[in-house]
Chain A
Amino acid sequence: MPADGGIGASTKRREDVRFLTGTGNYTDDINVRGQAYVAFLRSDVAHGKINSVDTSAAAAMPGVVRVFTGADFEGVGGLPCGWCVTDKHGEPMQEPAHPVLAQGKVRHVGDAIAAVVAESPEQARDACEAIDVDIDELPAVVDMKAALVDGATKVHDDLTSNLCYDWGFVEENKGAVEEAIANAAHVTTLELRNNRLVANPMEPRVAIGDYNKAGDDSTLYTTSQNPHVIRLLMGAFVLGIPEHKLRVIAPDVGGGFGSKIFHYAEEAFCTFAAKAINRPVKWTSSRSEAFMSDAHGRDHVTKIELALDADNNFTAIRTETYANMGAYLSTFAPSVPTWLHGTLMAGNYKTPVIYVNVKAVFTNTVPVDAYRGAGRPEATFQLERVIDKAARELGVDPIALRRQNFVTQFPYATPVAVEYDTGDYNGTMDVLEKMADLSGFEARRKESEARGKLRGLGLNCYIEACGIAPSQLVGQLGARAGLYESATVRVNATGGIVVMTGSHSHGQGHETTFPQVIADMIGIDASMVEIEHGDTQNTPMGMGTYGSRSIAVGGSAMVRAAEKVINKARKIAAHLMEASDADVELKDGQFTVAGTDKSVAWGDVTLAAYVPHNYPLEDIEPGLEETAFYDPSNFTYPAGAYACEVEVDPETGKVEIQRFNAADDFGNIINPMIVDGQVHGGIGQGIGQALLENCAYDEDGQLLSASFMDYAMPRADDVPFYGVDHSSQTPCTHNPLGVKGCGEAGAIGSPPAVVNAVIDALQSGGHNVTHIDMPMSPSRVWAAMNG
Chain B
Amino acid sequence: MATISMTVNGTPMSGEAEGRTLLSSFLRETLELTGTHVGCDTGQCGACTVHVNGKSVKSCNMLAMEADGAEVSTIEGQAGDDGNLSALQAAFQEHHGLQCGFCTPGMIMAAASLLEANPKPSEADVRKHLSGNLCRCTGYHNIVKAIMAASGQDVGAIAAE
Contact = CB atoms under 8 A, between A and B. Distances in A.
- Does B associate with A? yes
A660 B75 contact: no
A26 B37 contact: yes
Interface string A225-263: 000000000000000000000000000111101000000
A302 B52 CA distance: 51
Given A22-B105, A707-B40, A715-B131, A16 B93 contact: yes
Nearest to B100: A507
Nearest to B106: A202
B159 A721 contact: yes
Given A707-B40, A707-B44, A717 B128 contact: yes
How big is chain A's contact interface, by range? 35 or more
Interface string B27-48: 0110001111111111011010
Contacts of B104: 19-20
Given A13-B96, A16-B93, A680-B138, A254 B102 contact: yes
Contacts, number: 204
Interface string A534-560: 000000000000000000000000000
Nearest to A505: B100
Contacts of A707: 40-42, 44
A458 interface: no
A508 interface: yes
A12 B76 contact: no
Contact of B39 (A12, A16, A203, A506): A203
A508 B136 contact: no
A13 B42 contact: no
Given A202-B134, A685-B136, A716-B133, A286 B41 contact: yes
Nearest to A674: B96
Given A202-B102, A716-B143, A21 B75 contact: yes
B37 A673 contact: no
B9 to A, nearest CB: 10
A20 B109 CA distance: 11
B59 interface: no
A287 B137 contact: no
A713 B136 contact: yes
Nearest to A661: B160
B92 interface: yes
Given A13-B93, A677-B138, A708 B40 contact: yes
Contacts of A723: 159-160
Contacts of A660: 160
Nearest to A678: B99
A677 B96 contact: yes
Interface in A680-701: 680-685, 687
Given A17-B93, A21-B75, A24-B101, A202 B135 contact: yes
B72 interface: no
A721 B130 contact: no
A658 B160 CA distance: 8
Select the residue from B34, B35, B78, B137 with max chain A CB neighbours within 10 A.
B137
Nearest to B130: A716
A22 B99 contact: no
Contact of B141 (A16, A26, A722): A722
Contacts of A507: 99-101, 137
Contacts of B45: 202, 287, 708
Given A203-B39, A681-B136, A681-B137, A716 B126 contact: yes
B131 A716 contact: yes
Contacts of B13: none
Interface in B36-77: 36-42, 44-45, 47, 74-76
Contacts of A202: 37, 39, 45, 47, 100, 102-103, 134-137
A721 B158 contact: yes
Contacts of A683: 139
A257 B123 CA distance: 28
A709 B42 CA distance: 7
B14 interface: no
Interface string B96-124: 10111111110010000000000000011
A622 interface: no
Contacts of A682: 139
B39 A287 contact: yes
A583 interface: no
A158 to B, nearest CB: 36
A288 B159 CA distance: 36
How big is chain B's contact interface, by range? 35 or more
A506 B139 contact: no
Interface string B78-92: 110000010001001
Given A20-B98, A201-B100, A722 B34 contact: no
Nearest to A506: B100
Interface in A8-42: 12-13, 15-24, 26, 28-29, 31
A720 interface: yes
Nearest to A722: B141
Interface in B123-154: 123-124, 126-128, 130-131, 133-145
Contact of B41 (A287, A674, A680): A287
Contacts of A508: 99
Given A201-B102, A708-B45, A122 B20 contact: yes
A294 interface: no
A681 B137 CA distance: 5
A18 B102 CA distance: 11
Contacts of B47: 202
Given A661-B160, A708-B40, A717-B131, A257 B136 contact: yes
B43 to A, nearest CB: 9
A31 B45 CA distance: 24
Select the residue from A31, A202, A435, A709 with max chain B CB neighbours within 10 A.
A202
Contact of A15 (B94, B101, B102): B101
A133 interface: no
Contacts of B124: 717
A631 interface: no
A509 B99 contact: yes
Contacts of A128: none
A288 B141 contact: no
A677 B142 contact: yes
A497 B38 CA distance: 35
Nearest to A21: B79
B139 A746 contact: yes
Nearest to B20: A122
Contacts of A12: 93-94, 96
Nearest to A676: B96
Contacts of B101: 15-16, 18-20, 24, 252, 254, 507
B137 to A, nearest CB: 5
A55 to B, nearest CB: 24
Interface string A710-749: 0001111101111100000000000000000000001000
Contacts of A659: 160-161
A719 B85 contact: no
B147 to A, nearest CB: 10
Nearest to A12: B93
A347 interface: no
A681 B100 CA distance: 11
A469 B43 CA distance: 42
Contacts of A257: 136
**3 closest Cβ contacts across the A-B interface?**
A22-B35, A684-B139, A19-B101
Given A12-B94, A681-B136, 11 more contacts: A16-B92, A19-B98, A21-B79, A26-B34, A201-B136, A252-B101, A659-B161, A716-B127, A721-B141, A721-B144, A721-B158
5 contacts: A201-B100, A436-B160, A507-B137, A715-B131, A716-B128
